[in-house]
Chain A
Amino acid sequence: MSARAATIRVVGRTSRIPLPALAAVSLVLVTTAIAFVFFVAPNDANQGFSQRIFYFHVSIAITAYACFAAGAWQAFRLLWKRDPRADLKSYVCVHQGVIFGTLVLLTGSIWAKISWGRWWLWSSDQLVLFLVLFLFYCAYFMLRYSVDPGPQRANLSAVYALFGVVLIPVSFAAIRLAKDIIHPVVFTLHGPNFGGWILVTYCIAQVAMLVLAYTLYRLELVAKRLDGRLRELREVLA
């Protein structure tokens, strides 16, 4: 390895936040968010105590969208700049998005059971569109693992991830365009529909979820890279 390459590698490592520090920060943030949700935020005038699901449900949904968008960005980098590392990053982002998407559906269903008395409503556009988005990204893994590893798999996965990102604004905007009043609309063109401690608690929960997602992303990326390097080593030693 040349001195310059070694320097870049070292700088690349030290410029990042260490994973244990990230894990500690996310733990503190999630704990703070839960404390605010249960002990600081007031009861909602209309929904009462059940509204407290919203703090995690909405922030997890925004985090899932962010993960899918980050996956599409990495896919774009792979196709445009031919950065080979972007394929793995895109895959891990989409995987995180699917995990957070599962949480959105689960917490949403629990909230629906309290508010509507049913676990799911097919008449709600926002629910169905989010399910479509979620299933679209679930199919990403089927596509990825049906092709042998290599440039073809990376390119196909990247194109698919880029197509999927189109569904994010559709999912976000459809409810507002359809005037569906079943599912509450938290963010309008005039800003959030709440203020005071509810807004503070939501902001803390949102930051906590984003940091948690980034921590899990980094953890999975480390494991995937290690797995890849070990596979290469095994092939060399075989």
Chain B
Amino acid sequence: MTTAEKYVTAAYCVVFALVLVYVLIMALKLQRLEREVDDLADRVPAEDDAEEASREPARVG
């Protein structure tokens, strides 16, 4: 492999690596967002239950 070939390969590897790093960062961010959505989803029914338990029973009739 000549020096020029090594440098050209390095240039294309740099492009590939940087795009890969970007995609990795985005994947980690989406993973964090997914965890936050799960956390919020867990909190919503708990708050609904607490609200329901605090209500006084209404008399009917």
Contact = CB atoms under 8 A, between A and B. Distances in A.
Interface in B1-53: 2-5, 7-8, 10-12, 14-15, 18-19, 22-23, 26, 29-30, 33, 36-37, 40, 43-44, 47
Contacts of B37: 230
Nearest to A222: B30
B36 A230 contact: yes
Contacts, number: 70
Contact of B4 (A48, A212, A219, A237): A48
Does more than half of chain B's interface fall in helix, strand or loop, or is it mixed?
helix
Contacts of A99: 18, 22
Nearest to B6: A114
B26 A237 contact: no
B13 to A, nearest CB: 10
Given A60-B15, A219-B26, A110 B7 contact: yes
A110 B5 contact: no
Given A234-B40, A237-B43, A50 B4 contact: yes
A207 B54 CA distance: 61
A116 to B, nearest CB: 12
A114 B15 CA distance: 17
B3 A114 contact: yes
B11 A223 contact: no
Given A223-B29, A223-B30, A230-B40, A111 B15 contact: no
Interface string A219-238: 11001001100100110010
Given A212-B19, A219-B26, A227 B33 contact: yes
Given A216-B22, A230-B33, A56 B12 contact: yes
Contacts of A113: 7
A49 interface: yes
Interface stretch (A1-9, A66-74, A100-108): A100-108
Nearest to B29: A223
Contacts of A219: 26
Contacts of B8: 49-50, 52-53, 110, 114
B32 to A, nearest CB: 9
A56 B10 CA distance: 12
Given A220-B26, A234-B40, A56 B15 contact: yes
Interface of A: 34, 37, 48-50, 52-53, 56-57, 60, 99, 102-103, 106-107, 110-111, 113-114, 212, 216, 219-220, 223, 226-227, 230, 233-234, 237
Considering the complex of A and B, which 8 residue pairs feature the smallest CB-CB distances, nearest first? A50-B4, A110-B11, A49-B4, A107-B11, A114-B7, A53-B11, A106-B14, A52-B8
12 contacts: A49-B2, A50-B8, A57-B11, A106-B18, A107-B11, A110-B11, A212-B19, A223-B26, A227-B33, A230-B33, A237-B44, A237-B47
